[in-house]
């Protein structure tokens, strides 16, 4: 077996909003876990509340980290979070830096999402449209929970309003005041590589110009959804992945912020049907090699 991805500490993958481990046979991190394990890495994909605040999700993650450390005998973990999972990982690292070697944000909402801001304005919680959206999210979550064959733990709490507030620009700004580790000091800049013994990294993608991404696989349905969502962006119009802005995703060492990948393709959620030249699995393998070289 290759040892190219054999990091010193286990890799813990943290999903975003409405996250899961495996819907029947379809994993959240499609092809990624297997590739990392073939490279010799110890990898654990975890589940936290699909719809809740980043702080509540972070406390759940801390409990899972302690279980993983007991099971593996490791002293720390490397956290890799997608979307809201990046905030969840940041919270855990800020609260228990002694348990975390690194935090990696993949298309993370580190400065909020303009899509969440749009929904906050046009679908307020006390309106008919807001109640309808909440009901739809509850239904989706219930169905996904029934289908999540990879999760066998207790029923996780749901708070749709807390989840939504945690993703708005204002909500993340409050979060960042409490947990600023790894954040850039200037808009669009890089953050510190290491804070309190924890290394910070990030990467993200952007939708490419034109009606379709150049070389995009025609069976990639997520791209159409992301292009629709991208219409809600103002500050980072034309510079987003459909759900998170390019510069809003920055944290720590920015590996790259314009991969030709939408918000779902960046974790290979289109069954690998991504655009020509886009290789999300390779990004994770290369990052495991990067972490290994850094001694974590």
Whether this model's pTM surpasses 0.85: yes
Q: What is the pLDDT along the chain (296 residues), one digit of tens a residue?
A: 689 999 999 999 999 999 999 999 899 999 999 999 999 999 999 999 999 999 999 999 999 999 999 999 999 999 999 999 999 999 999 999 999 999 999 999 999 999 999 999 999 989 999 999 999 999 999 999 999 999 989 999 999 999 999 999 999 999 999 999 999 999 999 999 999 999 999 999 999 875 444 445 555 567 888 999 999 999 999 999 999 999 999 999 999 999 999 999 999 987 777 766 679 999 999 999 999 999 99
Give the integer Cα–Cα distance in Å for 252 and 106: 12
Instruction: Give residue 260's Cα distance to chain centre.
Output: 17
Residues 6+ apart with CB under 8 A from 254: 190, 191, 201, 202, 203
Residue 145: burial class (beta carbons within 10 Å; 0-12, 13-18, 19+): middle
* Of 32, 24, 96, 35, residue with least CA distance to 64: 96
Give the integer Cα–Cα distance in Å for 243 and 159: 20
* Of 205, 181, 194, 192, residue with least CA distance to 291: 194
Active site residues: 83, 241, 263
């Amino acid at each position: 077996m290759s040892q190219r991805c054999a990091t010193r500490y286990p890799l813990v993958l943290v999903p975003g909003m409405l996250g899961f481990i495996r819907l029947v046979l379809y994993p959240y991190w499609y092809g990624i876990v297997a590739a990392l394990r073939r490279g010799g890495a110890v990898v654990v994909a975890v589940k936290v509340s699909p719809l809740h605040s980043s702080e509540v999700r972070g406390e759940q993650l801390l409990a899972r980290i302690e279980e993983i450390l007991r099971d593996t005998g490791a002293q720390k973990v490397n956290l890799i979070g997608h979307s809201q999972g990046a905030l969840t990982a940041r919270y855990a690292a800020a609260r228990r830096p002694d348990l975390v070697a690194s935090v990696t944000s993949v298309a993370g909402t580190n400065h909020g999402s303009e899509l969440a801001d749009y929904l906050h304005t046009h679908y307020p919680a006390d309106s008919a449209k807001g109640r309808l959206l909440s009901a739809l999210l509850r239904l989706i979550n219930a169905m996904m929970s029934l289908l999540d064959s990879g999760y066998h733990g207790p029923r996780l709490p749901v708070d749709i309003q807390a989840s939504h507030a945690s993703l708005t620009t204002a909500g993340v700004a409050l979060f960042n005041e409490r947990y600023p580790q790894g954040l850039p000091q200037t808009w669009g800049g890089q953050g510190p590589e290491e804070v309190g013994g924890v290394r910070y990294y990030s990467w993200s993608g952007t939708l490419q110009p034109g009606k379709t991404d150049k070389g995009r696989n025609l069976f990639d349905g997520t791209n159409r959804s992301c292009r629709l969502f991208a219409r809600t962006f103002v500050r980072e119009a034309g510079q987003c992945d459909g759900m998170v802005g390019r510069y809003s995703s920055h944290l720590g060492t920015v590996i790259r912020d314009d991969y030709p990948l939408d918000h779902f393709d960046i974790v290979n959620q289109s069954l690998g049907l991504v655009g020509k030249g886009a290789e999300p699995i390779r990004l994770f393998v290369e990052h495991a090699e990067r972490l290994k070289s850094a001694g974590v």
